[in-house]
Structure 1
Amino acid sequence: MQSHCSKPVAAPEDLATALARQPAAPAQDLAARLGVSLPTVHRLLRGAGAQVVTLGRARRTRHAWRRALRGWLGDWPVYRIDDQGTPHAWSTLALIAPQGCAMPLEGTGWPVPPDEPGNASAGDGWWPGLPYPLQDLRPQGYMGRQFARAVHEALQLPPDPRAWSDDDVLLALARTGSDTVGDLVVGDEALRHWQAGRLDAPAPLAEAEVAAAYLALANQAVAGGGAGSSAAGEFPKFAALRALPQGADTAGPGGARTPHVLVKFSGAGGAPAEQRWADLLLAEHLALHTCAAHLGAQGVAAAHSRWLQAGGRAFLEVERFDRHGRWGRSPLVSLEAVNAAFLGLPHRPWPEMLAPLAQGGWLAEGTLHAAQVLWWFGRLIGNTDMHLGNLSFRPHNGQLALAPAYDMLPMRYAPLGGGETPAMPLIEPVLPLPAERPQWQPAAAAALAFWQTLAQDPRASSAMRAQAGANAHRLAQAIDIAG
């Protein structure tokens, strides 16, 4: 009689199935699921070799089955580029089955999200999607769509980056992500591309070349070309390099420290909506200058900027504060990415989002106060677009410090999507509660200075100057009432 032997319950394929069903599992859970002893599980894990990803120490040790992307089953090295332009190994990323990834943050200086009791957590390097330090690197906004259109065919991805999965984003970063937000570069190929770029880098634009070059870059951007940085934001913009003045030490136009700039631009047709956007770009420049001049003592810094005109267009040139000199970089993360990793809250005003971060010890000293002041300033200048992507931080020593202000302008007066320019209503300043006075008062004084400056700036249209003057009068009344 032929004997029948049952399939061993401890076969390697059973380990793969168990880990695919329960990623980031402790050995004890695997032993229970497989119905075998703990030594047998450890033998299976050793036998699987590099196919298994293991993170954590002692009782927090967990295991996952490695997942391939386009045939690649190995680790994805993640590098950082320091402020002197030198690349360093930073962490490694591995895709795990059935989804998610493993990437430890220990020793990186980035704050680690809180543990979830009984579950695999980001504290040990387990992530359900892309780790939060990489979330802002995904192509977004106006420039992100240009980037996606330029590379999607070569990468066999959808032309709209909003349709990209986390795996699609990882592939794009590893192949072409050498000039992203912050200081991180994913993969050897992207880092080699960045290194090669240093050998063949174009010279920054001389001041005499800026106007003509910006006009050409604006036309190219409007035509759908010129894929550059993946910096977020819906306003039409392009990235550029313009030279620092001869003899300058660390300061260029507007006090800049780097030739890297993002340049927003208005339309060139002279229509009412185009004039309104030109006014708003000037207002953004003045708002950033006001923050730097009046709110520095409150811990608020601002991106350096300048406003210029050429060929019927207005241009707002904003220094990239995540760049230093020609090649240096520094880390950056948005409140949107931080919220997703640490809080998971629906959109709320910045102070309400930051309060639990401060309570958890994740904000550097003074950051909560500075962000509250900046939020009040935005409200008092009519900024109705203070979403979670418009506030960013510099991670350092496990905490988050406020990054310079950007995208700060009276969006209340923005043209409608169809090009209509609605009337500009008078601002309605919200008066502070007693506990809010320490933040409201310096913000109100700065906002008053902003409106007064805009009212007297001959570069603004007469309508905008008149509205700014009326707003200054209205805010002055509110300051008198608030005491």
Structure 2
Amino acid sequence: MAVLGVSQPTLSRAIQRLGPAVTTFKPQGERTPRYALLRPLPDGLPPRQRIYRVLRSGSIEPFADVEFLVGGATLERIGKLARLYEGLPPYMVFAAPSGFLGRQVAGQASRGQPSLPVSLKDWGDYHRVVYLFLHGTNTPGNLLYGELPVQQSLNLRQIVPTTVAEKLGHYDAMAAMLREASHGSSAGGEQPKFLARVEDAGHVIVKFARRGSRMAELLPLEHLALKALADVGVPAATTQLLASSEHVFLEVQRFDRVGPHGRLGMLSAGAVDDEFFGLRDTWSQFARRCAQAGYISAAHARLIDVMAAFSELIGNTDRHFENLSLLIGEDGEYAGVAPAYDILPMRYASIGGGVDPALRPITPQLGAVGAQPAVWLPAARAAEQFWSAVQTAELAAPISQPWRQLAETNRQVARDFVQPLLPDVPVGR
């Protein structure tokens, strides 16, 4: 009223004339109602939408009602609580397409949805909303965006999983179909991948690479790295390595899926940090902030520190904030750190244009982890196991002699680096 120079009755009449195009709400802790103009959405989508969630049991229930406002803000209503976001809620940003898989779904969605740009680079929040409420079915986490994705999810439950006998052939066919789109996509850490549901492992993400490529050499190392972390008590995604005459596949079980139909909530560290801190510095610093804020326990923060320390000891230089996640419980609260994933010696990954870095020894640094013996001990034990396995493991995709030689060098580098941090505790015990 002050800005427009109008009286309260004049404002009330304007709101009445606009009718359903205006929403009213009271943010938590405020007594005075606010008013906002709803934003028209393309393709006949109403600006008021409902989000559902899938429980561990597979049951589906309402999660929140959202309203999209002129200017780009989003109003979220959960029960009697109303919360206003300047843009999209963090769970929508997290669920929206990104990376290699995101580029694939963006291309597919744009063919049947003219309002969506072909290139994911041209997408904004406006397009993410359209995608989620028309196609947001098999997104990360446990949320379904609108009635159409709920129905699509129910339809997917009728699809029979791929059998073990058919799995490798199916994976080869999927890789061949995506081969042209995936050319050169490993630059920047975007490993070619696709989703599948298989008889023995359930819901999986399948990474693939052409035999003879640098990424085909790294997929077995990711398999061994995650196993090494699990063996020292750090939860890690379960993987299986497969190979055909043309491709190497790393099958990663989805930890946000439970059985054939259940799901778990999750958010990437990026989505959490952007919402509450806005720093995106290092995993360890993020862990400390989350522990201080009460989002995770000190024990879970230590798990993140071990992942970071282990990464230093194996040359994992790709520790961005989408490669770390937190789980969300069915009570809506943070439920700890998600199992480790995407941890491998990325210092050796292709940098694009067919350029592969030389197989030079790792150069670990103390970094933000600091001199914490309780962290470096399990990280050192995992690294010892990892580099030993690289030398000796017999896998579906064999590890070459140059890699085995590098593994011995790197094992010694890791030992020498960590020894001053653990002066009284032999790594091998």
TM-score of the superposed pair, with normalisation by structure 1: 0.79
Residue 6 of structure 1 corresponds to which residue in structure 2? none
Q: Deviations over 1:350-408 (max 9, x none)?
A: 11223223222222452211111111111111000010110011123533510010000
Say if 2:161 is the partner of 1:204. yes
- Do the aligned partners of 1:66 and 1:73 also contact (CA within 8 Å) in 2? no
Say if 2:6 is the partner of 1:63. no
Residue 409 of structure 2 corresponds to which residue in structure 1? 470
- Do the aligned partners of 1:361 and 1:399 also contact (CA within 8 Å) in 2? no
- Matched residues in 2 for 1:179 and 1:204: separation? 15
2:382 to 446, 457, 461: 446
Output the amino acid matched with 1:333.
L
- Matched residues in 2 for 1:480 and 1:353: separation? 26
* Percentage of identical aligned residues: 34
Residue 74 of structure 2 corresponds to which residue in structure 1? 101
SS in 2 for 1:289: helix
- Matched residues in 1 for 2:224 and 2:87: separation? 39
- Matched residues in 2 for 1:422 and 1:97: separation? 48
Q: Deviations over 1:181-210 (max 9, x none)?
A: 1111111112122222334x1x21221112
Output the amino acid matched with 1:453.
A
Say if 2:334 is the partner of 1:399. yes
Output the amino acid matched with 1:162.
K
SS in 2 for 1:266: strand
Residue 15 of structure 1 corresponds to which residue in structure 2? none
Output the amino acid matched with 2:40.
A
Residue 430 of structure 1 corresponds to which residue in structure 2? 365
Q: CA RMSD in A?
A: 2.4
Residue 152 of structure 1 corresponds to which residue in structure 2? 110
2:173 to 216, 236, 245: 216
1:264 to 201, 207, 220: 207
Output the amino acid matched with 2:209.
S
Output the amino acid matched with 1:421.
D
- Do the aligned partners of 1:102 and 1:127 also contact (CA within 8 Å) in 2? yes
SS in 2 for 1:371: helix
- Matched residues in 2 for 1:239 and 1:48: separation? 45
Say if 2:390 is the partner of 1:457. no
Residue 136 of structure 2 corresponds to which residue in structure 1? 177
- Matched residues in 1 for 2:404 and 2:390: separation? 6
SS in 1 for 2:265: coil
Say if 2:288 is the partner of 1:355. yes
Residue 20 of structure 1 corresponds to which residue in structure 2? none
Residue 18 of structure 1 corresponds to which residue in structure 2? none
Unmatched 5+ residue regions in structure 2?
183-187, 424-429
Output the amino acid matched with 1:418.
G
- Do the aligned partners of 2:97 and 2:103 also contact (CA within 8 Å) in 1? yes
CA distance 1:455–1:181, shift in 2 (3 Å): same
Return the offset for 1:44: 5.7
- Matched residues in 1 for 2:294 and 2:275: separation? 15
Return the offset for 1:40: 6.5
Return the offset for 1:99: 2.0
Q: Deviations over 1:222-272 (max 9, x none)?
A: 1449xxxxxx9610111112112xxxxxxx5xxxxxx1111111114x3xx
Structure 1 or 2: more strand by fraction: 2
SS in 1 for 2:204: strand
- Matched residues in 1 for 2:289 and 2:79: separation? 22
- Do the aligned partners of 1:373 and 1:439 also contact (CA within 8 Å) in 2? yes
Output the amino acid matched with 2:58.
G
SS in 2 for 1:33: coil
CA distance 1:414–1:72, shift in 2 (3 Å): closer
Tell me which structure has the larger Cα radius of gyration: 1
Output the amino acid matched with 2:153.
W
CA distance 1:323–1:387, shift in 2 (3 Å): same
SS in 1 for 2:227: helix
Say if 2:7 is the partner of 1:32. no
- Matched residues in 2 for 1:310 and 1:356: separation? 44
Residue 426 of structure 2 corresponds to which residue in structure 1? none
Q: Deviations over 1:157-216 (max 9, x none)?
A: 2111121111111111111121111111111112122222334x1x21221112211111
Runs of 4+ in 1 over 6 A off after TM superposition: none
- Matched residues in 1 for 2:111 and 2:389: separation? 48
Q: Deviations over 1:417-452 (max 9, x none)?
A: 122333211122335887522212221221111111
TM-score of the superposed pair, with normalisation by structure 2: 0.88
Residue 288 of structure 1 corresponds to which residue in structure 2? 226
Return the offset for 1:282: 0.4
CA distance 1:106–1:384, shift in 2 (3 Å): farther
Q: Deviations over 1:129-181 (max 9, x none)?
A: 11101111111111111111111032112111121111111111111121111
1:168 to 101, 106, 127: 127
SS in 1 for 2:130: helix
CA distance 1:435–1:38, shift in 2 (3 Å): farther
- Do the aligned partners of 1:281 and 1:314 also contact (CA within 8 Å) in 2? yes
Instruction: Count how many residue pairs are aligned between Structure 1 and Structure 2.
Output: 407
Output the amino acid matched with 1:288.
L
Residue 427 of structure 2 corresponds to which residue in structure 1? none
- Do the aligned partners of 1:204 and 1:242 also contact (CA within 8 Å) in 2? yes
Q: Deviations over 1:88-108 (max 9, x none)?
A: 10001111112221113579x
Output the amino acid matched with 1:406.
Y
Residue 249 of structure 1 corresponds to which residue in structure 2? none
